[in-house]
Amino acid sequence: MSIRPPKKSCAVRDFLKPLKLSNDILCDIMKRLLKEVNKGLSKDTHEMAAVKCFLTYVQDLPTGQETGRYLAIDLGGANFRILLITLGPEKKFKMDARTYAFPEEKMVGGADEFFDYIAECVQTFKSTLKIENEEFPLGFCFSFPVETSGLNKGILTQWAKRFQVAGVVGKDVVALLQQALDKRNLKVKIKALVNDTTGCLMSCAWKDPNCRIGVIIGTGTNACYMEKIENVETFPDKSKPYMIINTEWGNFGSDGSLNDILTECDRQVDAISLRPGKEIFEKMVSVMYVCELIRICMVKCAELKYLFQGEITDHLKLKGTFLPEFMYDIEKDDTNLRKTMAILEESFLIHDVTMIDCANVQYIVKVICERSACLLSAAISTLVNKMALSPITIAIDGGMYRNHPFEMLLSQDGSGRGTALVAASIKK
């Protein structure tokens, strides 16, 4: 996709040049990522690898013949979902789901309150569906960096996004949640712990047996893929041919391997984040950080008097004010930039916005979104090339994907239903 700069925008165009990546640079980034993936898979270098390539212990893909009823918890953001999945013969499928909001204090409080709140919501869910007295296996989709030691055992290595719950890092999140469920006598047993990428892959594999990669590109980003077991040095049991590997590729670049392509604005996004120096790749491609990058680029251009005649309002200076819906609306604005002008005037209180300002802001958004897409495509291509299989279907979900014209298979509600399918696919 070629982005044409608006007229009279040479200064903005020149400012954004470092954000436009050539094919040679993207190919080099693929080589760097492959090197990091191999480090994560190696027993000798796993501990020092930025891309950890955690074991998932999921080695069996769904066959489409699974039956039964399963609960799933899909937890990865300020809202989480609880699902009841019913699987019948010949791929019959039914899903009941409810969304629950995490109060801010639970996201930064203590472990007991955090897991008890989840258990309370499970109790409410079962009561709503009038299934209080039934026993269920449960799949737990926990979309944070976890080092697993079995299908239903996993140690949280660090929090991400806006979560900072005390007393959980270094602990088995399955044990903590199971304890909270048992306190309420909810008749639920956690059978599988997965992250959203594994759930996404499993959901699509149930429909398409060629699915071998799962990608999330939303608030954050991550990917998993099927790796040949002989390449997984950190897992000694070679009795099955493959295992799904949770790459945690959002942390790519935390060792400095992407420093040469970081711009001044990228460095500022990193500096004001909760974890400076971490999740560098995620900060270049995912919604939460891309929106902040757009805002910072707008501020820098205004400081240089390339935008808004140099006007910088308090709203524009404030972290987190450039919302994802602004990005999507501005990028797709085909209303003679009237939506863009309305956002700048009404949400950022900028006076005397010109049509050239609007065109320049749209150009900023498009350039940054194109870089995100190019980096994501390079990362996916790295996994495809590494697997050397054909055909390969890629399962993908997340707001950044849903609102952009990628040609891949959408895994709608994939992490939730896929988590239940992991529980259903466990060989007894």
* Nearest residue to 289 (alpha-carbon basis) of 362, 358, 372, 214: 372
Q: What is the dihedral of CA 17, 23, 29, 31, to 10 degrees?
A: -160
352 is catalytic: no
* Alpha carbon separation from 75 to 61, 138, 199 (Å, rounded): 22, 13, 11
DSSP readout, 375-396? Answer: HHHHHHHHHHHHHT-SS-EEEE
Q: Which residue of the set 116, 196, 333, 397 is catalytic?
A: 196
Helix axes 111-128, 173-183, angle to 10 degrees: 60
> Do 111 and 165 meet the contact criterion of CB atoms below 8 Å apart?
yes
* Nearest residue to 172 (alpha-carbon basis) of 150, 159, 155: 155
Kindly state the helix (H) or strand (E) to which residue 56 belongs, with its residue range. Answer: none
Phi, psi for 331 (deg, rounded to 5): -60, -35
- The stretches of 134-226 forming alpha helices (DSSP H) are 173-183, 196-207
* Nearest residue to 369 (alpha-carbon basis) of 277, 310, 294, 298: 294
161 is catalytic: yes
Q: Which residue of the set 39, 52, 106, 161 is catalytic?
A: 161
CA 147 centroid distance within chain: 17
Q: In 3-state terms, what secondary structure has residue 183?
A: helix
Q: What is the Cα–Cα distance from 216 to 226, expressed in whole angstroms?
A: 16
Catalytically active residues are 161, 196
